[in-house]
Amino acid sequence: MDTSSKYTSSTINNKKLDDIFAKQYDNCIIGSGLSGSVIAQQYSTFNQSSLIIEKRSHIGGNCYDTIDSETGIRISLYGAHLFHTNSDRVWNYVQQFGHWVNYEHKVLGLVNGKYVPIPVNIDTVNALFDLNISTEEEMKEWLIQEQVLFLEKDGTTIREPKDSEEVALTRVGERLYELIFKPYTWKQWAKYPKELGPEVLSRIPVRSNHDGRYFSDRYQALPQNGYTSLFENMLDSPWITVVTDTDYFDVRDKIQCKRLYYTGPIDAYFNHLGWPKLEYRSLSFERGVKFNTEYFQPAAVVNHPQSHDYETGKEVDFTRIVEYKHFLNQTSDHTVYFIERSTDDGDPYYPVPNDENKELYKRYQGMAEKEEGVRFVGRLANYKYFNMDQAILNALEVVDQDTGRVVVEEG
């Protein structure tokens, strides 16, 4: 669907823009990603008006997807987005905006020249170490042999892992840590797991069975018509006005609203204050296309955890390759794939959870709490590595709080 006419771009329509800014809104929402769009949608159900200011030329934040013109395959411009949740509230909420197709995501890692399941399961270990483990009991025993445990000062009680290296070592031990987690994490974060909080590697489970799914959540699905159409449906309301191609900081003195919801990076809101840099990681994507080819690789996502290619010895500076044709079994004579690299500069994607950044974020948070009429929402403003469902739930709960709505959870 052509969305250009539905939203007002500041690059093409100044008169309309003046009219939009002349009005007063209940809410101004900065950013049309998951958090901002959920908030606007929710307020529309209270008959409250929202003005969304979006810096990019499209809605949907990093969930934005579109059709690749050469292959006809639906691709995501900012990396694969796999929806999974255990929350009934979130699952029921997203059903309203499109048809969801069950999809259990599987990832393979190319390790020592072999494609192995990630997260680690029996098949990963058998392939990498030439073993013949067949039962859960055997796998658990094998893991116990590998795992490194960390003891309290008294030497007897086991303490919680305090960084991501300890998380990996307690779960899979030294050998798998070196093969799968340490070099990948360096490529992704420009930091070793030791330098990152435990929450980063805690995201990846370890399995004692053959379960090859990336996530274990109850609900795992993809929107049949893509995420962009989902956002269009969310924002399709006379109560919601969207302006694209507009930097909030260029128009903040012009817009008029009772409340402001800000979903951008928190440090940018305060103009950095001359403080040390609050770190975010960005991603870059190199597109490749293969004509008259069924598939480029054996799975939608293939991780490349190692720093060098096992066969050629050449450096591998990327983390993973995503081939979108695999998602929902799309058909095309061709295939398109994206090689993903992590970068320092560029649009912020990931907050970098280590002690320095957490401390710095707290200072910003202190400022944010004093900012009257402004709410900081979402991954960038909360400086939290939210999954999609967490971002949605967080936005729903912000609206609960701000409207006094009481939601009774079932079950």
Under the phi-then-psi rule, with left for phi > 0, alpha for psi from -120 to 50, and beta for the rest, what region is 245?
Answer: left
Position 378 contacts ligand UDP (CB under 6 A):
no
List 140, 203, 254, 258, residue binding ligand UDP (CB under 6 A): 203
3-state helix, strand, coil in the chain (%, to 5): 35, 20, 45
- Residues 357, 383: contact at Cβ < 8 Å? yes
Position 118 contacts ligand UDP (CB under 6 A):
yes
- Residues 17, 243: contact at Cβ < 8 Å? yes
DSSP bridge pairs for 241 = 51
Judged by CB under 6 A, the stretch of 128-136, 198-206, 288-296, 396-404 that binds ligand UDP is 198-206
List 7, 184, 337, 376, residue binding ligand UDP (CB under 6 A): 184
Binders of ligand UDP in range 317-346 (CB under 6 A)? none
The CB-of-84 to ligand UDP minimum distance in angstroms stands at 11
Position 185 contacts ligand UDP (CB under 6 A):
yes
Position 200 contacts ligand UDP (CB under 6 A):
yes
Position 34 contacts ligand UDP (CB under 6 A):
no
List 204, 206, 257, 374, residue binding ligand UDP (CB under 6 A): 204
Tell me, letter by letter, the H, E, C secondary structure of 201-246: HHHCCCCCCCCCECCCCCEEEEECCHHHHHHHHHHCCCCEEEEECC
Nearer to ligand UDP, 118 or 122 (CB): 118
Residue 287 burial (10 A CB sphere; 0-12, 13-18, 19+):
exposed
Closest Cα to residue 339, out of 291, 284, 296? 284
Judged by CB under 6 A, the stretch of 9-17, 182-190, 205-213, 392-400 that binds ligand UDP is 182-190
Neighbours of 62 (CB within 10 A): 19
The CB-of-70 to ligand UDP minimum distance in angstroms stands at 26
Count of chain residues binding ligand UDP (CB under 6 A): 13
Q: Would you say how long the chain is, in residues?
A: 411
| Residue pointed to by tokens 């907050």 | 351
Position 181 contacts ligand UDP (CB under 6 A):
yes
Position 62 contacts ligand UDP (CB under 6 A):
no
- Residues 36, 269: contact at Cβ < 8 Å? no
Judged by CB under 6 A, the stretch of 148-156, 180-188, 227-235, 241-249 that binds ligand UDP is 180-188
The CB-of-408 to ligand UDP minimum distance in angstroms stands at 32
* Dihedral (CA of 114, 117, 119, 124) sign: negative
The CB-of-161 to ligand UDP minimum distance in angstroms stands at 14
The CB-of-62 to ligand UDP minimum distance in angstroms stands at 11
The CB-of-200 to ligand UDP minimum distance in angstroms stands at 5
Closest Cα to residue 52, out of 75, 33, 74? 33
- Pattern 134-173, binding to ligand UDP, x per CB under 6 A? ----------------------------------------
Closest Cα to residue 74, out of 329, 339, 335, 324? 324
SS3 state at 282: strand
Position 231 contacts ligand UDP (CB under 6 A):
no
Position 179 contacts ligand UDP (CB under 6 A):
no
The CB-of-304 to ligand UDP minimum distance in angstroms stands at 8
The CB-of-355 to ligand UDP minimum distance in angstroms stands at 17
Binders of ligand UDP in range 302-321 (CB under 6 A)? 303, 305
Cα–Cα dist 32/37, whole Å? 5
- Residues 371, 214: contact at Cβ < 8 Å? no
Position 180 contacts ligand UDP (CB under 6 A):
yes
Position 380 contacts ligand UDP (CB under 6 A):
no
The type of residue at 29 is I
Position 201 contacts ligand UDP (CB under 6 A):
yes
Cα–Cα dist 173/183, whole Å? 15
- Residue ranges in contact with ligand UDP by CB under 6 A: 109, 118, 180-181, 184-185, 188, 200-201, 203-204, 303, 305
